[in-house]
Structure 1
C-alpha cells in the first residue's frame, strides 16, 4: 500500500516529517470504503453477525429474568450490562480489523473459514462470502481489545460508585434528581471523550500489531510524531459520523414503528430491535475504523507483508 496523498512534507521541520490533513484523510478513508464497499462488507459481515448473535444470546440468558442474574456478572459501562459482553465481542472485532488490514496490505482474501490449532495443524474449508479465522494474531489482538474495554468499563463503574458515595456524604437523604443530574451528565460527557480517546489509540495499536506482526506501541507512537492530535481528530470525526447515522436511524425507526400510544414492547422485541439495528452500524463502525487505521499506518508504518500473507493465504 503506497503512502496516502493526504500528507504533505514540511521541509522547514524535517525532510521526512509528514503532516496529516484531517479533512482529506477522512475523505480518503470514505472514498476507499466506497470503492471497496462490497469486499469490505464480505470481510466484516460474518464476524459482526456473530457479535450481535452472541450478545443477543447473552442478554436473553442473563436478563430475561433480571432477578436471577448473579451480581458479580453485572457492571455498568457495558452493552449489555455485563462484563462478559466485552469478552464475547473482542475476537470478532479483531477479525474485522485483521481482514480489512489484510485487504489494504494486498494480502490474499479468499472466502474461507480457518481454525488454527498450534502452528502446523490447520483446519480450513471454504464458504463463499464468509470469513472467519482463529489464530494467534486474532487471539492476541482480541486479548488487547478485551483488556482495554474491561479496564475502562470497570473504571466507569468505580467512578459511578465514588460519585454516589460523595453525593451521599455531602447531601441530605433522600437525594433529589436535581442534585444528581448535573454530576451524572458531566461524568457522562467526560467518560465519552476519555473512553473515545482510549479506544482510538487501542485501535491504532491493535492495527499496528496486525499490520507489522509485532506489538510496538512506542514505535507506533513515535512514527506519528507531530500527528497525534490530528490522528485522534480524524478517528473522532469517523466515530461521530457513524454515531449520527446510527442514532438518527434508531430514532426514525422508533418513531415510525412504535406509536406513541402503543404498549411497551416485550423484552424479546426490545432485544431484537436493539441488536438488529446495531449490527449494520457495527459493520460500518469497525470497517471505517480499520480503514482509518490502515490509511494512517500505510503512510507512517511499513506493513510486514511476510507476516500477514501466510496467515491470509491459509
Structure 2
C-alpha cells in the first residue's frame, strides 16, 4: 500500500496552479492527442441522448427526467462517466510515465485491438477505467438527485411561505442563495471526487482514508486549487459562449432554431469539457505526485510512438 509521508508538506495554491498550467502548456499536444477522442465520443453520445429523448418531449417518460442534471436526465451522468474516466487515466498515465522532462510519450491505438490501431487515437475500457467510471457515475447521480430533491423542497417552501402568484422579488434572493450554496458544495464534492478517482487510478486501490490522511493540512488548499481550475475553464467557456451566442442568435430577438442551440451547446461542450478534464486531471496528478506513490501495477508504461 502507498505510504503516507511522515513529513507534513504544505501546498502553495498559486504555485501549484502555475505548475499545472505550465505542465499543460508544455505538453499541450500529447495531452490533446490523449484526450480528444474520448471527449469527442462523450459529446457525441450526450448529443444523441438529448436528441433521442427530447425530439418529442411529450413522449419522454417522467422517470428519466431530473432537474438536477445538466441535460435534464440522469442518464447523462452514466453516459459521460466512462469517457471522463478515460481522460483521467490517460493524463495520469502521461504524467507518471514520461521518462524525461519535455519528452513526448503518447500511447496510440486501441488497447487489446492493436491491429486496428489508429495513430493519434486512444480508447480503452479496461477494468480500472470501468471502476473509476462507476465511482464518477455514482457520485454524480447522488449529487444530481440531491439537487433535484433540494429544488422540490425549495419550491414547496416558497409556496408555503408566500402567497400566490409569486413575484420575482420573492424568488430572486432565495434562488441566488441556493445557487451560491450549490456551487460551493458542488465544487467541494467535485474536487474530492476527482482526487479519489485520480488516487484510485494512481495507486491501483480505492483508499479514501489514506488519501484523506495524506493531504493532512492541504485539504482546503486542494479545494482552492480545484476551484481556480474550474473558474479558469468556466470563464473561458462562458465568455466564448456569449460571443458565439451574439453571433448565432438572430438580431430581431427571435428564439434560435434547435440546430443553432445544439451547435452552441455541444459545439462548445467538446473543447471545454476536454479542457476541464485535462486541467483537473493534471491538477490531481500534480497534487498526488507530492503525497502519493504511483503503483506500478496500475500505471502501466506507455509505448513510445
- Report the TM-score when normalising by structure 1: 0.89
Question: Match of 2:175?
Answer: 184
Question: Match of 2:165?
Answer: 174
The C-alpha deviation readout for 1:266-314, integer Å capped at 9, x for no partner, is 223211220011110011100000000000000100001232217x56x
Question: Match of 2:273?
Answer: 282
Does the aligned pair in 2 maintain the 1:105–1:305 contact within 8 Å?
A: no
Question: Match of 2:27?
Answer: 36
SS in 2 for 1:49: helix
Unaligned runs of 5+ in 1: 1-13, 115-121
Alignment of 1:87-106 (within 5 A): 87-106=78-97
Q: 1:113 aligns with which of 110, 120, 126?
A: 110
Quote the Cα distance in structure 1 between the aligned partners of 2:13 and 2:74. 35
Which has a greater percent of strand?
Answer: 1
Quote the Cα distance in structure 2 between the aligned partners of 1:267 and 1:77. 22
Question: Match of 1:67?
Answer: 58
Specify which structure has the bigger relative contact order, considering alpha-carbon pairs within 8 angstroms and separated by 6 or more residues. Answer: 2
Unaligned runs of 5+ in 2: 99-104
SS in 2 for 1:172: coil
**What RMSD in Å do the two structures reach over aligned CA positions?**
1.6
Does the aligned pair in 2 maintain the 1:102–1:109 contact within 8 Å?
A: no
Question: Match of 1:8?
Answer: none
Does the aligned pair in 2 maintain the 1:48–1:282 contact within 8 Å?
A: yes
Does the aligned pair in 2 maintain the 1:64–1:267 contact within 8 Å?
A: no
Does the aligned pair in 1 maintain the 2:250–2:256 contact within 8 Å?
A: no
Quote the Cα distance in structure 2 between the aligned partners of 1:153 and 1:267. 25
The C-alpha deviation readout for 1:21-45, integer Å capped at 9, x for no partner, is 1111100000000000000000100
**Equivalences, count:** 292
Alignment of 1:202-241 (within 5 A): 202-241=193-232
Quote the Cα distance in structure 2 between the aligned partners of 1:15 and 1:157. 42
- Report the TM-score when normalising by structure 2: 0.92
Question: Residue 249 in 1 paired to residue 240 in 2?
Answer: yes
SS in 2 for 1:127: coil
